[in-house]
Amino acid sequence: MRIFFCLLITFSSFSFGQSIGWEGRTNAKEYLKIGFKGFELRHRTDEGENRLTYARKFFKDKKVSLKIPIHYKFEKEQPTLEPRVILNLEKFKIWAQKELWIEENYNAAFAIDYPHGDYSFRFGWDTSETFRFGISYKLKKKEKEEK
């Protein structure tokens, strides 16, 4: 399953992907991810955890926005919600999120996303006392609507 998922991420990146990224954490977890129109495939490299996410953003043109991702963890056959409140500042975003499901309570996370050109950098922390660092690259630009 691990090799299949890595191949799927690689193939999808060049065929359909809008963004590709990597995130590392101080607890030795690393993630590869590919995003496409609100969907994201994520692969945890150390244990082969695979996740499909669909996220919907609300109030995205406002100073404060809300993003509601629904994750499906393939190995655990478990969905989770991860509501994220985002403060949209002029040059970067600050966000806080909480991952949860019906009978389980997961970590909360806080981070800063700093976009720079086609790249986006992430610096954050979660309640398992883990720091996270990430980088994403926009493969395909969003087409602007003609008025």
Q: For 8-66, what is each residue's pLDDT tens digit? A: 655 554 555 588 999 999 998 899 998 888 889 888 888 778 889 999 888 877 899 99
111 torsion bin: left (phi>0), alpha (psi -120 to 50), beta (else): beta
More confident residue, 139 or 133: 133
Quick one: pLDDT band at residue 139, thresholds 50, 70, 90? confident
Domain membership flag for residue 144: no
Question: Is 50:43 a contact under the CB 8 Å cutoff?
Answer: yes
User: Is residue 6 scored above 50 in pLDDT?
Assistant: yes
Distance CA 78, CA 72 (A): 6
CATH code of the domain covering residue 33: 2.40.160.40
Question: Is 72:55 a contact under the CB 8 Å cutoff?
Answer: no
Q: What is the pLDDT of residues 79-118, one digit of tens each?
A: 889 899 999 999 999 999 998 887 777 889 999 999 999 9
Domain membership flag for residue 145: no
What residue numbers bound the domain in which 85 lies?
2-138
Domain membership flag for residue 143: no
Both tokens assigned to 130: 């883990």
User: Is residue 143 scored above 80 in pLDDT?
Assistant: no
Domain membership flag for residue 95: yes
Quick one: pLDDT band at residue 75, thresholds 50, 70, 90? confident
Domain membership flag for residue 147: no
Both tokens assigned to 99: 């991952």
Q: Can you give the C-alpha Rg of the chain in angstroms?
A: 15
- Looking at the structure of the chain, the number of domains it has is 1
Question: Is 84:71 a contact under the CB 8 Å cutoff?
Answer: no
Q: What is the pLDDT of residue 120?
A: 96
Domain membership flag for residue 146: no
Distance CA 95, CA 49 (A): 24
